[in-house]
Amino acid sequence: MNAIERDLPHARKSKTTVQAAHPRKAAISQKWAETILGYVFLAPSLLLFAVFLFYPLIQTFYLSLHETDPRGRVASYVGFDNFTAIFTSERFYQSLGVTGLFTLLTVPTVIIIALMLAALTHNQLKGMRIFQFIFSLPVVLSVGTSAVIWMMLFHPSVGMLNYLLQQVGLEPVAWLTDPRWALLSVSMMTVWMNLGFTYIVLLSGLQGVPDEIYDSAKIDGSGPIRTFVQIVLPLLSPTVFFVTIVSIIGAFQSFGQIHILTKGGPVNSTDVLVYTLYQDAFINFRFGTGSAQALVLFTIILIFTIIQFKVFEKKVHYQ
């Protein structure tokens, strides 16, 4: 056996090893190419998030630790003094109470009304499309348009609401200028404004319940109310849970209707946290204090959302 024949098995083994290594390299290269391609497609979204979310959040935290001049430029470092001023301010706790009351007035009301309307109109009967369109109509109107409409309704002398009260022998109400009625008036407008979105979501959830469930309940002798409460409502609980979280977050972030209707008054009766933030930052030009309030509001919303997930998610029945 010469040297060539003796080295031939080793050459064949080396060739087999090289051939086995090539598929691994090709697979790794393909994986990296797919990963890079994925990030290329994500780049526009990541850029938008960086510009409109991450950078403002970092800038807000930075400004909250500083005192600024009226132009928004950093004047001096104050550490956590802005946060200390917030938590020692009586106005903060008053605004927090107004925000909590506003949330209690709007969130349960809009969910209950939307759920009732969705339960009455989710059937595919003739003419239901018209009612579905009417009940979902507020979703197409902006906050400004809705607020102007309700400002006309709340007008003390020519408003429709006071006209109806006078027709039944009642005294007219100063809807937007009386501290006893101002928050309730803004809440009424907010319920109407949010009704369209909440109704559409709950209606979609009800239409997703299979018809076989209704047929089985009817065979078992269950009435419509019992069927809805004991069978349909548990199946709808994920949708209700979602709507509740979104509505609470929206209530804490409400600003437009309050700014147009009452501007936080009268006597700070509608001065919610967001409007307090707006006044400090853009009226009094205290951007450091406003940034600190924004972070506090973000933390409050985050804590409320986590509590809802921890407490209520166990009661949600996912199919």
pLDDT 10s digit of each residue in the chain, 319 long?
A: 554 455 445 545 554 554 545 667 777 777 787 788 888 888 888 899 888 888 988 999 999 999 988 777 888 899 899 999 999 999 999 999 999 999 999 999 999 999 999 988 887 777 788 888 899 999 999 999 999 999 999 998 889 999 999 999 999 999 999 999 999 999 999 999 999 999 999 999 888 888 788 878 888 777 878 888 888 888 888 899 999 999 999 999 999 999 999 999 899 999 999 999 999 998 988 999 999 999 999 999 999 999 988 888 777 766 6
What does the DSSP 8-state code read for residue 54?
A: I
pTM of the model: 0.84
How far CA 277 is from CA of 12, 244, 297, in Å, comes to 76, 24, 9
For 147-157, letters b (16+ CB in 10 Å) and e give beebbebbbee
For the chain, give every domain's residue range.
3-64, 89-315
How far CA 169 is from CA of 17, 65, 185, in Å, comes to 98, 57, 21
Residue whose tokens read 């003796």: 6
Q: How many CB atoms lie within 10 A of CB 163?
A: 13
Strands (E) across 61-134 are located at 66-68, 74-77
Q: Which fold has domain 89-315?
A: MetI-like fold (1.10.3720)
Phi, psi of 75 (to 5 degrees): -100, -45
Rounded to whole angstroms, how far apart are CA atoms 121 and 318? 24
Rounded to whole angstroms, how far apart are CA atoms 195 and 146? 12
Count of positions (residues) in the chain: 319
